[in-house]
Structures are given as structure tokens and as C-alpha cells.
Amino acid sequence: MENIIQITKNDIVNEGKKLLDAGAKFVTAVCNDLDEKLEVTYFFSANRGVDLTCLRYTVGKDEEVPSLTGTTLSTLLIENEMKELFGLKVKDLAIDYGGHLMLAHDSPTTPMLKPKKAEAESKGEI
Amino acid sequence: MALMLPTILRNFFGGPATRMYPVQVREPFENARGHVTFNDDKCFLCGLCATKCPSEAISIDKEKRLLTFYPARCIVCEVCALACPGDAIDMVFKWRAPFYHKPVEVHESRGKRPRTPM
Amino acid sequence: MATRTTVPFGPQHPVLPEPVQLRITYEDEKVVEVVPVIGYGQRGIEKACELNEYNKNIYLCERVCGICSYQHSESVVLATEQLWPLDIPPRTKFLRTIWAEMARTHSHLLWLGLFADAFGYESMFLQFWRIREKVLDILEQTAGHRVIQSVNVVGGVRRDIDEAQKKTVIDTLNVVRRESDDLVNVLINDYTVKSRTVGVGVMTKAQAMALGCVGPTLRGSGVSEDARLTKYSAYGELNYEPIVETAGDCYARMKVRARELFQAIDLQMEALSKLPEGEIAIKVKGGPPANETVARTEAPRGELYYYAKGNGTRHLERMKIRTPTFANLPAVLILLPGCQLADVPVNIHSLDPCISCTER
Ligand code: SF4
Ligand code: SF4
């Protein structure tokens, strides 16, 4: 994958806004569980959807991150989803579904997180 | 209404689009995938079908020489039929009554491993 | 002052084919506010993709959506192949393109019928579905199944289209084209249809881009954008240019899909005539290497994104699926406020929503 721009979490709003103002379209965001940290990648497409640009930042699991919904409503669903499924602490969401976008009140919490390597080792699963 | 007229006329004079089903049955297409059937004389319990099946519809007990098939889990994907080295799995396109209970088929395999290495 | 009432529209509603709830606030008959609520069909397919072996994912991901199932299987194999990357034979690429366009034909016929039903034209609905049956038949003859084709594997396809089948396909497509021509003519020119759709749910070009819309919803607003322009599979060798309408209302979105229906038939004909000889699959050993990639295909409802990350084993580290409706759903925030209660179904249907695949 080319065009990955590493940024810090506080830059996401500015950098995202810059890309959107230049005529790009928000595509989606992907969250990855890196055991200790979470890696968040925002994808933007430009030039009739052919070129992809990615903005990527890495945060600790208990850090708060800003939301892009203040700039564009297109990130609304995916940021809510990352918040629910990965426990990514997104603040200032335009519409906050409060953890019930995908999950019901009796669903498991943050189901997409992987079992921590250290814990799995101590249980003898690896 | 006037624009719809050609379609109305065609439907009026053309035959019905449906079939009198139990009386008239359409032959299945040659290429279509059907239900999984096992040929117990050919199966030699290599276990390939059970490993490859995406929905875990086949399980194998090598000691008792039994192959257990859960038809209600099968998604008719043809993976097992293509993987089987003994040619023991056929996909048969035939109408089958709906299940009232989830059935379990147990097959006693009697096949011999072919001598030529695969 | 008019009183405000909040009414839940769905998840069980006669016009909705799938479970989505719209919490609509009305002022008399006029919609003033709407909040879409999903989550009635979450199946955890992304998680299951991590637990499955990579070649079992194809059959799972095909079931993300019942109508664009072909594009899902194509995307998942494209994503997995790009992790290596593998070199796919040209005949395979053409075959994949032909089936993809066949799937688009049946999906658009289905949608045109459902849309007619949304404004109460029920006989049109049945006429379109009757034609769709013919397309499903050729899918069954060539790929082995009507809806869940299960024809893609990592490294190739499992079925070939021989000369006899080619002839059947071309003959059937000609009939489909002739019959849909009559019906689409009615939809486009009929006075009643126009009065229900023209000027309803207008979304400007800027709004559509800002909301990240995809597919016919975006092209109906005058943006010429399509994943097929990235020339995946055989689209680079076909004569393809996206279809665009500029009005941005329900009528424009309907027109885009109606014209795409004929374009899909043309693309199939062209691909069939250019079908190169050769292998249809290559052998693949081991698991995908540690790498990450994005596969983008154009499903009937819009652009489909698959993000895959391998880790060198036969299991993937992460698979992310962004379905077209996931991107199109925020559009209801613009389409619905200000419209009449009776236009809500028409507006929702003009997006071609597929909620169960939104939630995966
Ligand atoms: S049916 Fe075929 S693949 Fe399955 S165990 Fe028997 S021989 Fe092996
Ligand atoms: S057809 Fe597919 S699902 Fe059914 S038993 Fe064979 S491999 Fe399993």
C-alpha cells in the first residue's frame, strides 16, 4: 500500500480537512489492534476515486482521540463503530450512539480486540 | 398507460411466465451444484474434505472408520467434491424435502487408499 | 406552531426490505429531523475472517450481502491475491468481469422493480423481476448457482465459460435487453413516475462528496467516479466510462441505474467477444505474507472496500469490509429533512440500501 502518511492523533482533524478541501473524498477508516496500541488509518480518495491517500496514527488504548465528524459527517458511522468494536476513545462525535450502533445492551464489549499476547501466554494458549 | 401497452400486449398474448410446478419440473442445468452425496465404497478417510469444508459440515473418526456429515450445515460450495482424492463425493442436483430436524448422516467408509501416491 | 412527533420508521416496515430504523421527527407531514439506527443484523463477519483460514473467508464474505455476493467474493480474492501479489491469468480476469457484470444486471433489475414498488407501481415490480429470472438462469448455467455463485478461489476461478454457454448467454442477454428496454422506457417517460421522483430528494454534487457517497448515488449527483476506473480485473481492456446524471434527485439516480443496466449488458458482450484463451486458475501454496493491501471493486450499489492485512500464516491478521451502503447511509441526513412523509420510502429506496451488509 502506498501513500501512507504517518501523523499524530492531534493532526488528524487538520490534515483530514486539508485533504477534503483539496477535493478528496473520505472513504473509510480502519482500526488495527497492535497488542499494546491501536493503529487507526483514515483513507481518502482523490482524482475520480483512483488515488488513495492514508493518514495513519497510533495511540495507546486508553488515550482519547479527536473526531472528524466536526468537519464531515461521512466519518460518523465508522468512528462510532471503531469506538464500539475496538474501544477507541473518540470524543466529540456529532451523533454519539453510545455504544449501540452495532451492539445491543447485552452484547460483548469491544469484541474486535484480540486477546492480549501476555495474557494468552500466561494461560498457556500459545 | 400508452407506454406500457407493448408489455401489456405481449403479456396478454404470450404464455405464462410460471410453470405448473409439481406437474412440470424444470430439468436442472448441467453445471449447477447440488447436494453432497458420499460414495462409501470409494472414501478412504483421508480427511481432506473435513479440513477444507468452510462450514465444518464433515467430521471424521479414523478409528471407527466413520465419516459424519451434517447436511443442514452444508452450504453447497463444492469445495469437498473438488478436494476429494478418491472421487468419493458427488454433487447431485435433486429435489430434497425440507428438514424438520437437523439430520446427521453417518457413513461407514470401506474404500482402500489408492496405491499410487497422490 | 405545528407540533413535533417522533415516529420510528422501521426496523419492520412494509417498504423496507431490510432492518434499519429511522427515527423521524415530523412537523405535521414534513420531516424535520432524522437519525438512522442500525445494528439489527450484526453478524461479526470481520471477526470471523480473522479466525478462519484465508480460503474459507471467500464463502463467508460472499454471504455478507445477498445481492452483491459476487462482488464480495471477487473483492476478498483480489485482496488476498494482492498480499503476495499473485499473477492472475488474463482469461480469469475476463471471466470475473463477465460474472461481475451479470451480477450487476440482476441487481439493477431487482432494484428497478423495488423502486417501482416504493411508489406503488406493483405490476412494474413483477415485470422487472420476471426479466431478472432469466439473468439468474444464465448465472446458474455458467457459475453453478443463482445467487451465491461461489466461483472465485484465491488464484483463479473454478468454472469456465465454453462456446455453447457463450451462445446461451448472448442470446439471453439480447432478450433481457429487448424486454427491459420497453419497461425502462415506461419508468423514464411516464408522467406519474416523473411526478413522484423528479425534484424529490435533491443532493448536490458538493453534498454528495462531503458525505462520502459512492456508486449510483454519487453519479446521480454529477460526480464521475467509479471503482472500475482503477482498472481492476479486465476493466482496463474494456471500453468503459462511468454513467453520470447531474440532477441529483431520485429520478436521476433511477436513470443512472437504468442506463447502467444496459451498459452492464454491453460490457458482458464486449468481454465475451474479447475472452482470451488460457488457464483459469493458478496453484497457490502457503499463506499470504505479512503485508497489507486494499481491494476496491464496484458493486452494484457502489464502491466496495476490502482492507486485508496478512501475517505470514494461513490466517489473516485483519480484514475490514466497507460496504457501499455504509458510505451511503449518512445521505439520509440530507435527503429526508424537508421532504413529505409519503416521499420517505422513495428517498430511502433511491439509495438502494442494503442494511445487513452495512453491519456485516
Ligand atoms: S470423502 Fe474423499 S476427501 Fe473425504 S475423507 Fe473420503 S476420500 Fe477423503
Ligand atoms: S459442499 Fe461445501 S459446505 Fe458442503 S460439505 Fe462440501 S465443503 Fe462442506
| ipTM topping 0.90 | no
Question: By the CB < 8 Å criterion, does A100 face chain C?
Answer: yes
Q: The C-alpha cell of B3 is what?
A: 407506454
Topology of the domain comprising C42-328: Cytochrome-c3 Hydrogenase; chain B (1.10.645)
The yes-or-no verdict on residue B118 having pLDDT over 60 is: no
C185: nearest Cα among C112, C273, C246, C79: C112
Beta-bridge partners for B36: B91
The pLDDT value recorded for residue C1 is 58
- The mean pLDDT value for B81-92 works out to 82
Buried b (16+ CB within 10 A) or exposed e, C131-150: bbebbbebbbbbbbbbebbb
The ranges assigned to domains in chain C are 42-328
Q: State the average pLDDT for chain C.
A: 84
**Residue ranges of domains in chain A, CATH in brackets:** 4-114 (3.30.460.80)
Pair C155, C81: CB distance under 8 Å: yes
- The mean pLDDT value for B68-92 works out to 84
Question: By the CB < 8 Å criterion, does C309 face chain B?
Answer: no
Residue B11: phi, psi to the nearest 5?
-70, -35
Cis peptide before C11 (omega within 30 of 0): yes
Q: Fill in the amino acid letter for C319.
A: M
- The mean pLDDT value for A11-35 works out to 82
Going by alpha carbons, the residue nearest to atom 8 of ligand 1 is B46
Question: By the CB < 8 Å criterion, does A20 face chain C?
Answer: yes
The pLDDT value recorded for residue C12 is 79
Cis peptide before C85 (omega within 30 of 0): yes
Going by alpha carbons, the residue nearest to atom 3 of ligand 1 is B84
The pLDDT value recorded for residue B28 is 78
Q: Which of B39, B48, B58, B67 to mutate to test the pocket of ligand 1 (most atoms within 8 A of CB)?
A: B48
The ranges assigned to domains in chain B are 32-108
d(CA B88, CA B45): 10
Residue A114: phi, psi to the nearest 5?
-85, 155
Q: The C-alpha cell of C336 is what?
A: 429526508
Pair A69, A79: CB distance under 8 Å: yes
DSSP assigned state of A23: T
d(CA C272, CA C146): 20
Of B3, B29, B55, which is closest to C186 when you measure between CB atoms? B3
Q: Fill in the amino acid letter for B64.
A: K
User: Within the 160-189 window of chain C, which residues sit less than 8 Å (CB to CB) from chain B?
Assistant: 165, 182-183, 185-186, 189
| Inter-chain touch A28–C322, beta carbons under 8 Å | yes
CB atoms closer than 10 angstroms to residue B20: 8
Nearest ligand 2 atom to alpha carbon B75: 3
d(CA C137, CA C145): 9
Question: By the CB < 8 Å criterion, does A48 face chain C?
Answer: yes
Topology of the domain comprising B32-108: Alpha-Beta Plaits (3.30.70)
- The mean pLDDT value for B25-53 works out to 82
The pLDDT value recorded for residue C344 is 82
Report the gap between the CA of B84 and the closest CA in chain C (Å): 15
The pLDDT value recorded for residue C230 is 82
Q: How far is the CA of B44 from the centre of ligand 1 (A)?
A: 6
The yes-or-no verdict on residue C285 having pLDDT over 80 is: no
For chain C, give the secondary structure using H, E and C: CCCEEEEEECCCCCCCCCCCEEEEEEECCEEEEEEEECCCCCCCHHHHHHHCEHHHHHHHHCCCCCCCHHHHHHHHHHHHHHHCCCCCCHHHHHHHHHHHHHHHHHHHHHHHHHHHHHCCCHHHHHHHHHHHHHHHHHHHHHHCCCCCCCCEECCEECCCCCHHHHHHHHHHHHHHHHHHHHHHHHHHHCHHHHHHHCCCCCCCHHHHHHCCCCHHHHHCCCCCCCHHHHCCCCHHHCCCCCCCCCCCCHHHHHHHHHHHHHHHHHHHHHHHHHCCCCCCECCCCCCCCCCEEEEEEEECCEEEEEEEEECCCCEEEEEEEECHHHHHHHHHHHHCCCCEHHHHHHHHHHCCCCHHHHHC
Interface partners of C (3+ CB pairs, < 8 Å)?
Answer: A, B
Q: Which residues of C touch B33 (CB under 8 A)?
A: 144-145, 150
Report the gap between the CA of A23 and the closest CA in chain C (Å): 8
Sheet containing strand A25-34, edge to edge, reads A4-6, A51-60, A37-46, A25-34
Question: By the CB < 8 Å criterion, does B76 face chain C?
Answer: yes
d(CA C303, CA C147): 20
The yes-or-no verdict on residue B31 having pLDDT over 60 is: yes
The pLDDT value recorded for residue A17 is 82
The yes-or-no verdict on residue A117 having pLDDT over 70 is: no
Question: By the CB < 8 Å criterion, does C130 face chain B?
Answer: yes
pTM for this entry: 0.86
Pair B38, B53: CB distance under 8 Å: no
- The mean pLDDT value for C140-153 works out to 85
The yes-or-no verdict on residue A106 having pLDDT over 70 is: yes
Tell me which residue has cell 424529490.
C200
pLDDT band at A61 (very low <50, low <70, confident <90, very high): confident
The yes-or-no verdict on residue A124 having pLDDT over 60 is: no
Q: Which DSSP helix (H) or strand (E) runs through B59?
A: strand B58-61
The pLDDT value recorded for residue C248 is 82
d(CA C180, CA C113): 11
Q: Which of B80, B92, B96, B104 to mutate to test the pocket of ligand 2 (most atoms within 8 A of CB)?
A: B80
The pLDDT value recorded for residue A122 is 62
Pair B107, B42: CB distance under 8 Å: no
pLDDT band at A94 (very low <50, low <70, confident <90, very high): confident
